[in-house]
Chains A and B, each alone.
Chain A
């Protein structure tokens, strides 16, 4: 196979991987601080892309903004809406249900996701159909032999990588990150040390959901089309990446995200005709990996308390 096509596919895989990682990191953050799976995460991604579309479209139409400013408006709207949704879901659903069986929390967040999705479908004019996303990034191609890639894709990829690395630094190097890790490790001791646990939890929810919303905005910029139900599969993929990588760590979900994207890309390369099988193979790989590594590839550090 020609080297350019390989590079092209590697680039596509990286692109998908960065988006999956951003979603998966959220799952790992929530699981860390509260031991819950927030399953509305995929729909927060959708919320992010629709907020970005709305804000960029409206501000662009009202003030005839240059694309860069419209993009800024869209991004801040997406991250704001995502963080707000995360805080509301955490405050209204997850914290009150702390003592309940985990299946109740799982169902509650799934239903919150359904509410978000249906609200978008019913609330956005003609929301049942896919919507075009404006091209806000500079167009133009980078070419090298048979390898060609849009400048916009490179920008998206770099921004995503920066954000994932930034989140990692935030959690490992800052005071807020320290309190997140303290609450995750033992919330009673953390409270004794004077950490406002609820604030940390809600802060984590805002952080994870903001990341997901940013990923939604990136998806819109990359695919140029968004739809109300795109979050369902993305949420499942993000969850799968987080679980396969290991819910207990922050590197795990990033590895998981790139792994999932890698498998999908490989299937597309290997079977170009039946690329629809990429999800089938990817999920089969996930099930096999779970059988091999029952608690994720980077295992959780915990022991049973009897």
Chain B
């Protein structure tokens, strides 16, 4: 939508001066160990206690002076925080090396976070609401299925081919989107999602409602599905998938972050927030919408291909409006435009229902109510997008 508001400027808080890097490292390590225990935990009381601890920590960071300072310091030392996050994710993978379930959760969260970062690129930066996120995700999976079943192309390329195919599909869909605005553009993506799902269900070429099997990922002769032993340790075959997903997330994160902080991100922000002003300054509205939308779809397709290969099959079920809404809600819940916010929201949305079996039946209801409450009382999401800080260009002082 073209009327997304710009991120609100935040109040500046005094920064912590002594050992800021150690503090950031400790905070990230603490958060990840909490997340790790959550993925591993079996008993409901432990999950509930962890949830309460997270909410408490969030409240402290959001409402108290010291909490805001710590959060701001983490924002200042982004490099340390992001590097530490990658390290922690890899440590978690090593710790869980034989635990199928925990690794599957971790890989799922990483893959969905990747897709949601791509949605952020489309929605928060380029200003196009994509209500067919799950459809493009599934197109990626189907591409991987076709590549692995009918071609001799090495399977390591399947995600890349998935990205190309979904990117191209996005380009075709973009033709009507570019001619319209707002609600009309939303309809085009919604209609495409419904069309794709119905088409996949009724045609037999791609397996109909049963879907297709997908061959596992393999690279340099190493088939991910056959891996169960590294040296003396027996490992889960989800281990390489988890590692790959985390690496994919890392690369996509760096790419999108670089885009956001470069002139491309500024151009996207201008085009989204005021098309007239953008046109006055000679920015091509079409070009930037194409860049944001196609790149986002390509990333979603790549994530979808990897997810499909990890699961080993794909059905039309996931392509519907419901799953696209789930992805979009993760973006809004986390905070539109905040990449880490999407990760936090993906963790909450994907993992909590798995862990709290008692709420399984009421999962959708609670989830919908949660999104409603967030939209009404915290419209910026859990972690609102921070204001663009261009002060370094003004004083010339390096950070």
Contact = CB atoms under 8 A, between A and B. Distances in A.
Contact of B368 (A118, A122, A239, A283): A118
What class of interface size applies to chain A in its complex with B? 35 or more
B59 to A, nearest CB: 23
Contacts of B194: 233, 236, 279, 283
Contacts of A240: 187, 190-191
The bracket for how many chain B residues form the interface is: 35 or more
Contacts of A100: 375, 379
Given A93-B376, A280-B198, A115 B369 contact: yes
Q: State the main secondary structure of chain A at its contact with B.
A: helix
Interface stretch (A136-144, A179-187, A211-219, A284-292): A284-292
A93 B372 contact: yes
B47 interface: no
A119 B195 contact: no
Contact of A111 (B179, B183, B368): B368
A218 B182 CA distance: 32
Interface stretch (B83-91, B236-244, B303-311, B359-367): B359-367
Contact of B4 (A103, A236, A276): A103
Interface string B300-334: 00000000000000000000011001001100100
B175 A31 contact: no
B375 A279 contact: no
B325 A110 contact: yes
B186 interface: yes
Contacts of B129: 103, 106
B192 interface: yes
Contacts of B192: 283, 287
B180 interface: yes
Contact of B202 (A103, A110, A276, A296): A276
B372 A102 contact: no
B264 interface: no
B5 interface: yes
Contacts of A295: 180, 184
B69 interface: no
A268 interface: no
Contacts of A279: 194-195, 198
Given A280-B199, A283-B195, A290-B176, A107 B371 contact: yes
A104 B188 CA distance: 18
A112 B379 CA distance: 16
Interface string B24-48: 0000000000000000000000000
Contacts of A233: 194
Contacts of A104: 332, 375, 379
A291 B192 CA distance: 13
A102 B176 contact: no
A103 B1 contact: yes
Interface in B86-137: 123, 129
Interface string B359-399: 00110110111011001100100000000000000000000
B316 to A, nearest CB: 12
A108 B4 contact: no
Contacts of B123: 103
Interface in B317-353: 321-322, 325, 328-329, 332, 336
Contacts of B179: 290-291, 294
Interface of A: 31, 37, 93, 96-97, 100-104, 106-108, 110-112, 114-115, 118-119, 122, 232-233, 236, 239-240, 243, 247, 274, 276-277, 279-280, 283-284, 286-288, 290-291, 294-296, 304, 306
Given A106-B129, A111-B375, A243-B187, 18 more contacts: A37-B183, A97-B376, A100-B375, A103-B332, A107-B329, A111-B369, A114-B325, A236-B194, A243-B184, A247-B183, A276-B201, A283-B192, A286-B191, A287-B188, A287-B195, A290-B180, A290-B191, A291-B175
16 contacts: A93-B376, A101-B1, A103-B129, A103-B336, A104-B379, A106-B129, A108-B372, A111-B371, A114-B368, A122-B365, A274-B202, A277-B202, A280-B198, A283-B194, A286-B191, A294-B176
